[in-house]
Amino acid sequence: MFHFSGFNMMFPDGGRSFQAAYKCFSVSMLPGNERSDVEKGGKIIMPPSALDTLTRLNVEYPMLFKLTNKKKTRTSHAGVLEFVADEGKCYLPYWMMDNLLLEEGDILNIESVSLPVATFSKFQPHSTDFLDITNPKAVLENALRNFACLTKGDVIAIKYNKKVYELCVLETRPGNAVTIIECDMNVEFEAPVGYKEHSDQQPASQPGGQAAGSNETADGGTVLEEVVETFKGSGVRLDGKKKKESQMETPVLKKVLPRGVPDYDFQFGLIRFDRSIKPICDRTQDDGETTGEAGSDADSFHGTGFSMKKTRK
């Protein structure tokens, strides 16, 4: 209760919510320098008039907003990064416009909301390339620092090593929309879209013993040889003579190591050392010794030697 010149003014405890409609644009349309930091997170840029209205309302901090595209009946949630947009406009990350099915210049309804603190979330990568990341949880935790909230069903985009990975938010607790600011959240990953188990990738039946042996050698870690085709044309000498057989081009062999397969039966606290695989240097030496012993007598030098020092008569 406040007293001003004999008048009593009472403000409600709950406060009023902020509601506005703006023309939305992607961050690439923002005037000035390129703002790549906005594309990396889940926050939007609003006009200064919105800040003036929010300061006069009893809104909760941090400021969170519900974004609604009434034409497509799509909703999402986001935080605010800055209040520097032109009046009547707001700027969103491109992945957020994709979730809301928005085009440049469409009308977006923004409403201030209060969301519960997140305790659990589950993500599904849209590409198997996400498995190549050594520590995906650490990468996701670092990327979510630029987000203010998560909405179930949204497809967020994170950037790592100059590559953009898309992840679908499958589940959030305790609600379908949660805030992730200063929270202790458990994260789980679903198998990526298009991912197949290692057992499914192997053929069920092998036609011949040779094919089976080749697969065994590949699993054992042997060096595979791949023929690399170089220049396919024929060379011509400048003097017009034919090329000798020693000058003929030989195919180039490129050594390729098979990609390792993770141990899906790994137990925490147990370390296993596979000593059945030899290093590449040892393999090449063993191969050279066996071939050298077999052909040492047959391929020995048969020419005649000459001494550079003349004998005195």
Tens digit of each residue's pLDDT, the chain (313 residues): 444 443 334 444 445 789 999 999 998 888 877 777 788 889 999 999 999 999 888 888 889 999 999 999 999 999 999 999 999 999 999 999 999 999 999 999 999 999 999 999 999 999 888 988 989 999 999 999 999 999 999 999 998 888 889 999 999 999 999 999 988 999 999 999 888 775 555 554 444 444 444 444 444 445 555 555 555 666 777 887 776 665 555 666 666 656 666 667 777 777 777 666 666 665 556 555 555 555 555 556 666 777 777 666 5
Q: What is the pLDDT of residue 73?
A: 92
Q: What is the pLDDT of residue 255?
A: 61
Strands 19-26 and 89-92: parallel
pLDDT of residue 51: 92
CA 150 to chain centroid: 19
pLDDT score at 79: 94
Confidence at residue 269, expressed as pLDDT on a 0 to 100 scale: 77
Q: CA of 19: how far to CAs of 109, 125, 134, in Å? A: 7, 34, 43
Residue 312 CB neighbour total at 10 angstroms: 4
Residue that is written with structure tokens 């949204």 in the block:
154
pTM to 2 decimal places: 0.58
* pLDDT reported for residue 38: 84
